[in-house]
């Protein structure tokens, strides 16, 4: 079946270091890949997305890389801060109006001061 999964359920990084959160997917028929951040006690919040015809997209302190050959997606956070501690979800979507977004199980990022 179709799936979106993450390589590691937890990740700890030192404050100031770069973080890399990985995600693998099985279905190639996706138009968007999206990263969400969920802080404790809150709903997920959109971070960044990337279309399937792109390899890389940069935002503020975040970069998403898409490797369609190996069906792998990564989120890189530069100079990780304590406020980055959260659960990160990758998700895939399609531009077909009635299709749904599929979420991975999440990676919990802990930033060590």
Q: Which is nearer to other proteins, 96 or 113 (CB)?
A: 96
Which two structure tokens, joined as six digits, stand for 40?
Answer: 């404790």
Among positions 53-112, residues that touch other proteins (CB under 8 A) are 89, 91-101, 103-106
Of 13 and 87, the one with the shorter C-beta distance to other proteins is 87
Nearer to other proteins, 32 or 78 (CB): 32
**How many chain residues interact with other proteins (CB under 8 A)?**
29
The answer to whether 105 touches 9, Cβ cutoff 8 Å, is: yes
Interface with other proteins (CB under 8 A), residue from 11, 13, 34, 73: 34
Spatial strand order of the sheet with 56-58 comes to 4-6, 19-25, 72-77, 62-67, 56-58
CB contact at 8 A, 10 and 108:
yes
Helix spans in the chain (H): none
Closest CA to 72 of 87, 50, 94: 50
- Of 13, 23, 25, 30, the residue at the interface with other proteins (CB under 8 A) is 30
List contacts with other proteins (CB under 8 A). Answer: 9, 30-32, 34, 36, 41-46, 49, 89, 91-101, 103-106
């Amino acid at each position: 079946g179709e799936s979106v999964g993450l390589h590691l359920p937890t990740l700890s990084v030192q404050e100031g270091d770069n973080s890399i959160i990985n995600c693998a997917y099985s279905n190639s028929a996706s138009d968007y890949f999206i990263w969400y951040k969920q802080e404790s006690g809150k709903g997920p919040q959109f971070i960044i997305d990337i279309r399937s015809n792109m390899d890389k997209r940069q935002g503020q302190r975040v970069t998403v890389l898409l490797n369609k050959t190996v069906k792998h997606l990564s989120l890189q956070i530069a100079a990780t801060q304590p406020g980055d501690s959260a659960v990160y979800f990758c998700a895939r979507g399609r531009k077909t109006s009635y299709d749904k977004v599929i979420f991975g199980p999440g990676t919990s990022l802990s930033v060590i001061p």
